[in-house]
Amino acid sequence: MWKIKHKIIFVILVLTGLITNLNAQVMSYLSNEQVALFTDRTIYVINEEILFSCNLIHNEKSTFGDFSNVLYVELVTPNGESVISEKFKLINSYCSGKITIPDNILTGYYYLKAYTKVMRNNGPNSYHYTRFKIINPYKNDLVSYNPSQTVSESIDAKDDSLLLISTDKRVYSNREKVSVSIKCESGEFKNKCISISVIPEFSFNAINIKALPTIEISSDELYNLENKGISITGKIIDEETGLKLPNIKINLSIIGSNRDFMATVSDSLGNFVFVLPDLYGQNSIFISCQKKPDINPKIMVLNDFCTSKNSMETPSFKLTEEERKLVYKIAVNKEIKSIFQDTSRINKPFKTYDNVFYGKPTRTLYPDSYIDLPTIEDCFIELPFNVRIIKVKDEKYFKITGGKSEFLIYEPLILVDMVAITDYKKVLSISPKKISHIDIITAPYVKGNMIYGGIISIFSKNGDYGGINLPESGIFLNYNFFSENSNSINGDYISINKPDIRNTLLWLPNLVLSNNNTSEFDFFTSDSDGRYVILVRAIKNNGETVTQSEHFEVQ
Q: For the chain, how long is the longest CA-to-CA vector?
A: 99
Least confident of 209-213, 328-332, 358-362: 209-213
* pLDDT at 350 (0 to 100): 42
Distance of CA 393 to the CA centre of its chain: 48
Report residue 158's pLDDT band, with 50, 70 and 90 as the boundaries.
low
SS3 content of the chain, % helix, strand, coil (to 5): 15, 40, 45
Residue 342 has pLDDT above 80, yes or no: no
Q: What is the pLDDT of residues 84-106, one digit of tens each?
A: 999 999 999 999 999 999 999 99
Give the 3-state secondary structure of residue 260. strand
Give the strand order in the sheet containing 530-540: 171-172, 545-554, 530-540, 189-200, 506-512
Give the 3-state secondary structure of residue 346. coil
In this predicted model, which residue has the larger pLDDT, 299 or 295? 299
Report residue 160's pLDDT band, with 50, 70 and 90 as the boundaries.
low
Tally of CB atoms within 10 A around 203: 24
Nearest to 41 by CA among 95, 91, 99: 99
Q: What is the mean pLDDT of residues 281-306?
A: 90
Report residue 176's pLDDT band, with 50, 70 and 90 as the boundaries.
very high
The Cα 379–Cα 365 span in angstroms is 9
The Cα 422–Cα 262 span in angstroms is 14
Q: What is the pLDDT of residues 29-50, one digit of tens each?
A: 566 899 999 999 999 999 999 9
Nearest to 131 by CA among 146, 113, 104: 113
Domain spanning 363-466 has what CATH number? 2.170.130
Q: What is the pLDDT of residues 387-431, one digit of tens each?
A: 888 888 878 888 888 777 777 788 899 999 999 988 888 998 899
Tally of CB atoms within 10 A around 118: 22
352: left (phi over 0), alpha (psi -120 to 50) or beta: beta
Residue 210 has pLDDT above 60, yes or no: no
* pLDDT at 20 (0 to 100): 41
Q: What is the pLDDT of residues 506-526, one digit of tens each?
A: 999 998 888 888 899 999 999
The Cα 111–Cα 35 span in angstroms is 14
- Cα angle 495-497-501, degrees, rounded to a multiple of 5: 70
Nearest to 191 by CA among 68, 91, 41, 65: 91
The Cα 415–Cα 392 span in angstroms is 21
Beta bridge pairs of residue 546:
157, 538
Q: What is the pLDDT of residues 452-511, one digit of tens each?
A: 989 999 999 998 999 998 887 789 999 999 999 887 888 777 778 889 989 999 999 998
Arithmetic mean of pLDDT over the chain? 84
Residue 22 has pLDDT above 50, yes or no: no
Nearest to 264 by CA among 245, 276, 251: 251
Q: What is the mean pLDDT of residues 135-146?
A: 92
Report residue 156's pLDDT band, with 50, 70 and 90 as the boundaries.
low
Report residue 154's pLDDT band, with 50, 70 and 90 as the boundaries.
low
Report residue 246's pLDDT band, with 50, 70 and 90 as the boundaries.
very high
Give the 3-state secondary structure of residue 146. coil
**What residues contact 35, with CB distance under 8 A and at least 6 apart?**
54, 55, 56, 57, 71, 114, 115, 116, 119, 127, 128
* pLDDT at 180 (0 to 100): 96
The single-letter DSSP state of residue 462 is S
Q: What is the mean pLDDT of residues 380-390?
A: 78
The single-letter DSSP state of residue 334 is H
In this predicted model, which residue has the larger pLDDT, 379 or 180? 180
* pLDDT at 30 (0 to 100): 63
* pLDDT at 270 (0 to 100): 94
Nearest to 154 by CA among 44, 317, 313: 313
* pLDDT at 472 (0 to 100): 79
HSE-up (13 A, CA, CB side) for residue 549 = 22
* pLDDT at 60 (0 to 100): 61
Out of 2.60.40.3880, 2.60.40.10, 2.120.10.30, 2.60.40.3710, select the CATH number for domain 34-214+308-350+485-554: 2.60.40.3880
* pLDDT at 543 (0 to 100): 78
Q: Are 161 and 186 in contact (CB under 8 A)?
A: yes
User: Both ends of the chain: CA-CA distance in Å?
Assistant: 95
* HEC string for 192-239: EEEEEEEEECCCCCCEEECCCCCCCCECCECCCCCCCCCEEEEEEEEC
* pLDDT at 21 (0 to 100): 43
The Cα 543–Cα 57 span in angstroms is 7
* pLDDT at 405 (0 to 100): 75
Strands (E), 448-529: 450-452, 455-460, 475-480, 506-512, 518-524
